[in-house]
Amino acid sequence: MLNLFSKKPELTNDPGPWGPFRLIELINTGGMANLWLATDSHGRTVAVRRLLPQLQNDGKAKKRFISGCEILAAVQEHDHVIGCFDHGKIQGVPYLAMEYIEGANLKEIIAEPTEELCCRIGNVLIDMGEALEHVHDCGYLHLDFKPENVLITANWNVRLIDFDLARPRQDRPFKLADNPGTPAYMSPEQLQRHPVDHRADIFAYGVCLYEILTGSKPFTGSSPIEILRNQIMPQKQIVPPRQLNPAIPAEVERTLLKSLEIDPAKRHGLMSVMLHDLRSTLYV
């Protein structure tokens, strides 16, 4: 006899079968999801991202997770965006099955720079910019662009990940209903809760370039308010990147500083324009 009042199967953190997947090893736990190394029903190795148990009844978190899955599925067919195989729900739990990458994120790599990073850096900068350009061309903003969300494979290929905060582009700048993200990479307009567009991503990309090329962030602070103050106060000038790393070409410095303009209208109008300037100097 079917028990209509039986409890829903509990979500465990133990390896084993889960829907069409076999969970092998828990790779990482983030603010919204667990990430598992797994195999699917075809025997293919995949990474399964699963909403955290404590967020199962959080409608806002569920909506954000599902939206991120849908946007990732919409920006596929690009070499530098993480591959999406499937997404949906199993036992009521939202999940995302995606390409499994053996490598590290860019935050980890620049924390311990190597000679190989120095040799590959030009390609990495362009590849991550091309990923962001593709997202914009598909009609979306990433809104959480940072080194932690850029995976680097063992062969130094780039994959952009984590679309939980992504939003559809609109015809004109628009206000975000909420303002999650990482303040150190947010544009001044986003920190001030002003309308944003794709140029907020261009600013975040510029912050990443500055950090990768110099080992420091252009704007620091212990809170969003302090970071914003350091962005917009006239006396808080950015240290020129070449002062921290003289090996940076002067043209790259000019392009980088343009992406970090406080006024969005003074930044590059499109990611493709910034990439054109970088390629011309880096010969990539």
Predicted confidence (pLDDT) per residue in 238-269, tens digit: 899 999 999 999 999 999 999 999 999 999 99
- Provide mean pLDDT across the span 221-236: 79
Is residue 128 within 8 A of residue 160, CB to CB? The reply is yes
Give the per-residue pLDDT at 1.
Answer: 36
Which residue in this structure is represented by tokens 């130094």?
156
3-state secondary structure of 89: strand
Q: Where are the domains of the chain?
A: 16-99, 104-282
Domain topology for 16-99: Phosphorylase Kinase; domain 1 (3.30.200)
Q: Could you name the CATH architecture of 104-282?
A: Orthogonal Bundle (1.10)
CA dist 228 and 201 (Å) reads: 16
Strand pairing category for 45-51 and 21-29: unpaired
* Structure confidence at residue 232 (pLDDT): 81
Region 65-87: what's the mean pLDDT?
97
Length of the chain measured in residues: 284
Does the pTM surpass 0.85? The reply is yes
Closest CA to 153 of 115, 113, 119, 106: 106
Concatenate the DSSP letters of all residues of 174-193 into one string.
B--SS--S-GGG--HHHHTT
Q: Which residues contact 51 (CB under 8 A, 6 or more apart)?
A: 32, 33, 61, 62, 65, 93, 94, 95
Tokens at 47, concatenated:
């990474």
d(CA 211, CA 241): 9
Which of 105, 93, 86 is CA-nearest to residue 40? 86
**Backbone φ and ψ of 152, nearest 5°:** -120, 120
Q: By mean pLDDT, which of 15-24, 49-58, 222-231, 245-254 is the weakest?
A: 222-231
